[in-house]
Structure 1
Amino acid sequence: MRYFILFLCCFFSYSLQAQAPHGAIRGIWVTAQDSVLDSKTNIQKAVENCKKAGINNIYVSTWNRGRTLYPSAIMMERFGVAIDPRFGKRDPLKELVEAAHAEKIKVHAWFEYGFASAQGDSGAYLLKKYPYYAAIGPDGKGIEKNGLTWMNAFHPLVQNFVKSLVLEVVKRYDLDGIQGDNRLTAAPSLAGYDAYTLAEYKKEHGRLAPPINHLDSNWIQWRAHRLNKFGKDLYQSVKAAKPNVLVSMAPNVYPSSLQEYLQDWPSWLREGYVDYVVVQLYSYKLDEYEKILKETIQQVGSKKGQLYAGVLIGLEDGYRAKPELLKGMLELNQKYDLPGELFFYHAALPKSGKMLKR
């Protein structure tokens, strides 16, 4: 009997690992606008709050509004500004990694802005110096979407720039992972009408130009495939630099992720160039949350163990999820056997922390 029980324990342990290879993640996003990174004291307090709330993974904004939130040799060389000026000579990323690891909390560098260069005038200097970095729409003009100005995610020089930032933090810091979202690997579906991308398309289509209709299904797929290739290269490059660093992405729900941002993230899971996805299941109503959760589970199929829920607990405009809504969303995640969730965002944690524990 003793050996049978031992066998069962090993079996269930193996089954859990096979179903959720990266374990139970209880994560939270820390944005650049949060005050967490403003001082070493704030960082320590935030880590303590996370520990009390049962958070075991922190995803910290590392690239935001055209600035790095760590001293970057690449940004210094190209633009003469090594770090967001508000941090002076500090290294907030290093400070957070040290504080979190001391409490056995993992840290992921979240490239929050991805291929978005600016919000307002914040990162406009990037495109002023390198105009060909700009994403171009069917009207021949630069693209702004949801208040963000976008770089050309299809141009190899822009891809190499973003990849170089990712690899810089992977090589320099003791990180547990890196993460992109609906801006990495992504581009607005309006993008792709720049000279480089048009020439590439014409080479493969007998010199025919792509449709003016940016939502044409074949044109959508062609551009999504281009981004998939970059995503695969990014994944392989990170693993080559440090095999144990996890690569995760936090896209929108599918298929709107494909229609809006050319993100065919179910294929990333199928083809194995992302370790897990955290789908932004942001909702203000419980029945709506369950609906999009079930639809998302259908999209991942056998890769369900690599699916985590992105749960909205607060916004900068003051919104906070009500306790009954938050409790209901966590119960649904358990009901459908998700291995964990990430909460957006840390500023909502002091009021919601106790409710985050399953």
Structure 2
Amino acid sequence: MTNIEIRGVWLTTTDSKVLRSQQRIAEAMDFLAETGFNVVFPVVWGRGATLYPSQVMRQTFDIEIEPLSAGRDPLAEIVAQAHRFNLKVIPWFEYGFASSYKMNGGALLAKKPEWAARDCHGNLLEKNGFEWLNSLNPEVQNFMLNLILEVVQNYDVDGIQGDDRLPALPCEGGYDRTTVEHYRQQFGKNPPQNSKDPQWLKWRADILTEFLARVYQSVKAVNPNLLISMTPNLPDWGYQEYLQDSRTWLERGLVDMFHPQIYRRDFLSYKNELNKILNEQLFGRRLPKLAPGILMKIGSYCMSPEHLLQVIKYNRACGIPGEIFFFYEGLRENNNALAKLLRKGPYAQSATFPSLADLNQPSTTQIAADSLLQRGLRIFRNIF
């Protein structure tokens, strides 16, 4: 019997040339299909530009496509090549509501300075090097929704993916004049200077949740079978730091696939973060949706073969039907070592990508989260 699993990988333009030519894309899809993957998440929005010819971007910013892809349509090439192998394609809006990285807002805010997010001092909102659009601004939200709808209306894709920047806003933001006035009208006072004031956190997070609800409803209106895939920060940290209320997203049924970024560089740290999630009944009852984001490579780091096998074994022991790896180039390191390991081991048997009905089923085992953890702990003892 064929397994039903999510076996995914992110395709980036950072530290990777896979999207830079149709030939490289074709070779990558051959390689991923042979390795046992069944879904790819290619970046289509980053650094203030799209990786497809965008009329929304042309009309709004006079930037039709990111410069290195001029004259091509990388998204169309990915769809054509991936579907040869029945690989699902879920475009990834990587930059989300970020405007630029260490470029003072870049071309987007140069053209639309009124779209800038502001901190409590009135400065352009910056966090970890990224400068931000104001994701609480209805015009900015409409722009992002129009980008998403442009993709699902014009390409034969299988869904869309948001991440740690979509929907999101650093908790230090929300102090622009429009948002401050909106808050004052509702509460009769200015927002607190403490950016982590509980009421202020929740009020802004709720606005982003309502935006995700609009995305969900609008995409499903185009095609109800399209998947809404989200890969946010870990629940508590994501809420406190980036206003990502992923618990509410799941409770309201706004997410079809949920991939929290458990980006840890050793197995014990990964296990501990996953256990925190599974200890909550909210997540334990939605295991078919859950396929954690796993850090395979970043910079000079590449996960060890032992770590890879431990993570997948623990996932399955906990009833988790899949994972997504960041990112493709990790599979090609050391003469394709990790890809060979997957092909001979956990991914040796082919796996069917879950249907929407599969994803929206309650956990088939109906086992409480604590029981799932006990199963995982038994496997963990065997690993060591």
Task: Give me the TM-score of the superposition, normalised by structure 1.
Answer: 0.92
Q: Is 1:304 aligned with 2:290?
A: no
Q: Is 1:323 aligned with 2:305?
A: yes
State the match for 1:158 in structure 2.
Answer: 140
Choose from 224, 229, 234 the match for 1:243: 224
Shift of 1:112: 0.3
Shift in CA distance, 242/307, structure 1 to aligned 2, threshold 3 Å: same
State the match for 2:159 in structure 1.
Answer: 177
Q: Is 1:100 aligned with 2:86?
A: no
How many residues of Structure 1 are paired with residues of Structure 2 in the alignment?
Answer: 337
Contact 1:145–1:188 (8 Å) recurs in 2:
yes
Shift of 1:339: 1.1
Give the Cα separation in 1 of the matches to 2:302 and 2:196.
35
Choose from 55, 59, 80 the match for 1:77: 59
Contact 1:190–1:214 (8 Å) recurs in 2:
yes
Give the Cα separation in 2 of the matches to 1:218 and 1:83.
40
Shift of 1:306: 1.2
Identity %: 41
Give the Cα separation in 2 of the matches to 1:331 and 1:168.
39
Shift of 1:123: 6.0
Give the Cα separation in 2 of the matches to 1:307 and 1:87.
33
- Output the amino acid matched with 2:36: G
State the match for 2:91 in structure 1.
Answer: 109
Bigger mean CA deviation after superposition, 268-277 or 93-102: 268-277
Give the Cα separation in 1 of the matches to 2:341 and 2:202.
41
The residue matched to 1:118 in structure 2 has which SS? strand
Shift of 1:355: 2.6
Give the Cα separation in 2 of the matches to 1:37 and 1:313.
19
Q: Is 1:60 aligned with 2:42?
A: yes
Shift of 1:177: 1.1
Give ranges in structure 1 of 5+ residues lacking alignment: 1-8, 17-22
The residue matched to 2:13 in structure 1 has which SS? coil
Q: How does 1:1-358 map to 2 (within 5 A)?
A: 23-33=4-14, 34-121=16-103, 124-206=106-188, 208-299=189-280, 300-315=283-298, 317-350=299-332, 351=336, 352-357=338-343, 358=346
Contact 2:159–2:229 (8 Å) recurs in 1:
yes
Give the Cα separation in 1 of the matches to 2:288 and 2:278.
10
State the match for 2:373 in structure 1.
Answer: none
The residue matched to 1:35 in structure 2 has which SS? coil
Give the Cα separation in 2 of the matches to 1:284 and 1:273.
30
Give the Cα separation in 1 of the matches to 2:279 and 2:251.
13
Task: Give me the TM-score of the superposition, normalised by structure 2.
Answer: 0.85
Shift of 1:122: 8.9
Pairwise CA RMSD of aligned residues? Answer: 1.5
Contact 2:82–2:89 (8 Å) recurs in 1:
yes
Shift in CA distance, 239/95, structure 1 to aligned 2, threshold 3 Å: same
The residue matched to 1:29 in structure 2 has which SS? strand
The residue matched to 1:255 in structure 2 has which SS? helix
- Output the amino acid matched with 2:179: T
